[in-house]
Amino acid sequence: MSSTRLAGLSGDAVLRGSAHEGDLELHADVVVVGSGSGGAVVAAELAEAGQQVIVLEEGPFIASDDYAAMRPSQSIRHAWREGAMSAALGVGDSPIVNVTMGRLVGGSSALTGGVCFRIPDRVLHSWVHEHGLDELSSQALEPFHRIVEERLGVTEVPPSLHSRSLQLFAEGARRQGFQLKPTRRNIQDCAGIAQCNFGCPKGAKRSVDRSYLPRAAAHGARVISDCLAERILVRDGRAVGIRGRLLRGPKARRHGKVTIHARRVVISAGAWHSPLLLSASGIGRRSRQLGRNLTLHPACRMMARFKEPVLGWKGALQAAFTDAFEAEQLTMVSLFVPPGVLAATLPGFGPEHSRRAEQSAHIAMMGGLIHDEGGGVIRRGLGREPLVTYRMTPRDRAALPRLIEVMAETFAAAGAEEIFLPVLGHAPVKPDQLRHLDLAAIPAKRYECASQHPLGSCRMGTSPERSVVDPSGRCWEVEDLYIADGSILPTSLGVNPQVGVMTMATRIASRLRELPLA
Amino acid sequence: MSAANEHSELPPWWVARDIPEVLPPPSRRADRALFHVAQALFTRDQGPPPDARLHWLCLEMREFLAHCGSKARLLFAVALFLATWVAPLWVMRLPPLTLLSHARRIEALDRLEASPIGTPLFALKAVVSLVYYEHPDAARELGFDGRPLRELQP
């Protein structure tokens, strides 16, 4: 078989801040803060256009072969932000949402399930007609969507990679009167080991450290890892660089100072950190929208025990989805996680917990997310991480028990013997007990909610009073300062946003290629 | 981690990587509390897991927490505090948890988990379980073979 796998970013292209002695002062045409889905795309597109690009990444450089060799918990401790324990605190009757993000060269892209959705037409329609962003129509974004998909090698997951867990999900869906659709992913030669979220052990995922960053490096871009951007340098109303610190050791302690002088600055630190960097630099506060409008796609997993062996880890992590409940703001996806992660969420202690864990091979799983309206706020907290609060709108709150209900009924229809609700400490239920449950009465804080899609905290808009960046991604308040990451999306998408973020970044970069440097 | 390499039946990517680290010095009190919580959590019908496996877990957790941010370490410490000093109250016993009988410890933690203040315990349980079940013997108890759906040709 001829391999279509891409080689990862070479260590030669990376200056490891942890190993550098002393301070660092460099000059470039463009400095990009963040090396994930937004930053890597901008870096590659601009480097290919002949611009001198420096990419700053807070996290370490872990060669793709190395992180692919890690166990899940090693991946979490070395490559995930805050050991995967970041959270948005629920305000009022809203859940606490565990938000997981990558913190390494390649960003969360290296740790996604590889799912590739275009920005849905219905979402783009709302951006054009409700937010006035005329330039973001389906037709206008079509060429950028296409470029991203070509560069990532996006393909449909073949049925041969469907796990038994997915087949049971599909069987339940069919009996409930809806169908699953195949997922498209940026993965080639997938072996079906359900390990994507921890770095593909087979190197099959075309995350940006295998796709965009090597291209950027081939055109002269330099990546500095272990480098925390602390302030955007502004002179005469124009962004002229970044000041930061190099980081070292497991606790990422600051050591050398970093100054990058640049003619243009692009912030791609993600929805969690881009607003903090702007705020620390005294930028973006005028609109009062900085750090606001955060959406999360709050998600829950549903597990069910079947009589037959399922061995759900044999198969693609995410291979199918359904948008049959789109009108109710719900998207459901096939999903599986390594058994240790699965066992971690089973209720009980002692023999009761262990008996359930030992049934892992019989457990099927799916996930569902809510296309939320936004109610999160990012504020500066103690230390480097923000304090994030999240208040669900009544519509989103009502969608939460509905999501649980639909997923549980689907597995019940597939013949599950026992269903594990994503409710803290809740004992598993038999399928015939489902109709007696009052899910809406369960306090939101008891739901086990997670998110991998923080978006919208520096949103794009048509006026400086209502948004942080203009339709070209430029900060309203400062010349030559752009944001290109999930934080600029005006609303949530209702689907995995990786390709959406990359599409927007490609569009921004295409303009920057044409725009003369100061 | 070196114990993991002795088990060749799991695929190399599962066990191969040992990352040398300079770990912070152990906190005997925290290690002891974690040991007892883990012993209660992972007790099977056949009895508690071997001490060696729990010591391996404590060492792994020390490395795990060394890499987490300060907020995550604080959350873990709060959860361990709740487990040690609050959980016993749920079974009408005086803390600390480490002085309770094994059966009482399981009952106390079970009740704390189901209580309105059980959320931090969930975080602790999730991380500890994730690490514990990576031990090859524990992974085997789950029936995990680590093999992909299809083995690729070289």
The ipTM value here is 0.90
Quick check: A63 contacting B, CB < 8 Å? no
Per-residue confidence (pLDDT) for residue B25, from 0 to 100: 67
Three-state secondary-structure class, residue A81: helix
Per-residue confidence (pLDDT) for residue A249, from 0 to 100: 84
The pLDDT of residue B135 is above 90: yes
pLDDT in tens, A369-416: 999 998 999 999 888 999 999 999 999 999 999 999 999 999 999 999
Range with lowest mean pLDDT among A129-133, B10-14, B146-150: B10-14
Of A371, A426, A421, A375, nearest to A401 by C-alpha is A421
Average pLDDT over residues A106-129: 96
Quick check: B59 contacting A, CB < 8 Å? no
A427 secondary structure, DSSP code: P
CA distance A117 to A148: 11
Quick check: A360 contacting B, CB < 8 Å? yes
Distances (CA, A) of A517 to A46, A174, A262, A281: 12, 56, 10, 22
pLDDT in tens, A478-495: 999 999 999 999 999 999
CA distance A79 to A84: 9
Q: Are A320 and A170 a contacting pair, CB within 8 Å?
A: yes
A-chain residue closest to B64, CA distance: A77
Higher local confidence (pLDDT), A122 or B26:
A122
The pLDDT of residue A281 is above 50: yes
Per-residue confidence (pLDDT) for residue B9, from 0 to 100: 53
Per-residue confidence (pLDDT) for residue A306, from 0 to 100: 98
The pLDDT of residue A274 is above 80: yes
Whether A339 sits inside 8 A of B143 (CB atoms) is yes
Q: In this structure, what token pair is assigned to residue A494?
A: 């209702």
Secondary structure (H, E, C), A197-247: HHCCCCCCECCCCCCHHHHHHHCCCEEEECEEEEEEEEECCEEEEEEEEEE
Per-residue confidence (pLDDT) for residue B152, from 0 to 100: 42
To the nearest whole angstrom, how far is the Cα of B110 from the nearest Cα of chain A? Answer: 5
| A202 contacts in chain B (CB < 8 Å) | 148, 152
Quick check: B75 contacting A, CB < 8 Å? yes
Per-residue confidence (pLDDT) for residue B3, from 0 to 100: 41
The pLDDT of residue B73 is above 80: yes
| A383 contacts in chain B (CB < 8 Å) | 69-71
Beta bridge partners of A178: none
The pLDDT of residue A3 is above 80: no
Per-residue confidence (pLDDT) for residue A162, from 0 to 100: 95
pLDDT in tens, B37-56: 999 999 999 999 999 999 99
Give me chain A's average pLDDT, please: 94
pLDDT in tens, B102-116: 999 999 999 999 888
Q: Please state the pTM of the whole predicted model.
A: 0.93
Per-residue confidence (pLDDT) for residue B21, from 0 to 100: 55
Helices (H), A433-497: none
Catalytic residues of A: 453
Average pLDDT over residues B125-146: 90
The pLDDT of residue B119 is above 90: no
Which of A73, A358, A385 is nearest residue B130 as measured by Cβ atoms? Answer: A73
CA distance B43 to B39: 6
Q: In this structure, what token pair is assigned to residue A169?
A: 């999900």
Which of A73, A96, A313 is nearest residue B134 as measured by Cβ atoms? Answer: A73
